Amino acid sequence: MTHHERARAPRALISRTRIASTAARLIAEDGLTDFGLAKQKAARQLGLPESAALPDNAEVEAELRLYQALYQSDAQPEELRHLRAEAFKIMEVLANFRPYLTGSVLDGTAGAFSAIDLLLFADSAKEVEIFLLDRGMAFEALEPRAGRHAHDAYSKAEAVLRLSAPVADVNLLIFPPQYERQVFRHRDGRTRARARRENLAQLLEKP
């Protein structure tokens, strides 16, 4: 590594940290849910060039947890509990489709603007749609390859439906049954955690 490269390395690291911290604030306070967009917006706000190295999602998540602990310690835990309770109710209704909770409501970083993400496994998306219609549950169909799931295993979803629930929107990602045993990963390679209803019940029992 040249002297010039050694001098640039700390600055690049500082920039990544600043971007991650600013992105975390945008997610926590402004309701951005797409980490990629939050990082890009953070870099622009900081006046950094487009070539600036962006932090990975794990770095942003770490900063988000820190921000919530510092500035939202009163409200965020209660918001998270409400979201998990709502997820539990909906998973109970959708029990025939083997629902799993995933995303920020499971990992504990969800806040006031977060949606509930559920994985469903069904013979067809139409089966889920008919089930919802029969019960008068309003939903809209989203493009499976759009937004934050575009470049990972979630793009293999047969359909993505968004429910409007009393506490938050609920994203239903519907996969064929054979995908239930597949390990889904984040773009950075980390395994995406998921939990069945009984596991969520254990989380809700904790003070």
- Examine the domain organization and report whether 148 and 169 are in the same domain: yes
Of 56, 71, 86, the residue that ends a domain is: 71
Supply the pLDDT for residue 145: 52
Among 71, 102, 126, give the residue marking a domain's end. 71
State whether 192 and 124 are in the same domain: yes
Pairing of strands 169-175, 116-121: parallel
Same domain, 179 and 123: yes
Token look-up 């049954």 returns: 177
94 and 193 belong to one structural domain? yes
What pLDDT, on the 0 to 100 scale, is given for residue 5?
43
Within 13 A of 139's CA, how many CA atoms are on the CB side? 23
**pLDDT for position 94:** 97
Residues 54/19, Cβ–Cβ less than 8 Å: yes
Please report the pLDDT score of residue 40 as a whole number: 93
Domain termination site, one of 50, 71, 92:
71
pLDDT on residue 203: 93
pLDDT tens digits, the chain, 207 residues: what are they? 444 443 444 566 678 899 999 999 999 999 888 898 999 999 999 999 888 889 999 999 999 999 999 999 999 999 999 999 999 999 999 999 999 999 999 999 999 889 999 999 999 999 999 999 999 999 999 876 544 444 455 677 899 999 988 889 999 999 999 999 988 887 777 888 999 999 999 999 987
39 and 67 fall within a common domain: yes
CA–CA distance, 7 with 14 (Å, rounded to integer) = 12
* 87 and 177 co-located in one domain: yes
> How many structural domains are present in the chain?
2
Task: List all residues 6 or more positions away from 80 whose beta carbon is below 8 Å from its beta carbon.
Answer: 105, 108, 110, 111
Task: Spell out the alpha helix ranges (H) of 94-136.
Answer: 104-107, 125-134
Q: Are residues 109 and 63 in the same domain?
A: no
Would you say 191 and 185 are in contact if contact means Cβ atoms under 8 Å apart?
Answer: yes
175: left (phi over 0), alpha (psi -120 to 50) or beta: beta
Q: Are residues 176 and 97 in the same domain?
A: yes
User: Strand 116-121 to strand 139-142: parallel, antiparallel, or no bridges (unpaired)?
Assistant: unpaired
The pLDDT assigned to 151 comes to: 44
Q: Which domain holds residue 106?
A: 76-205
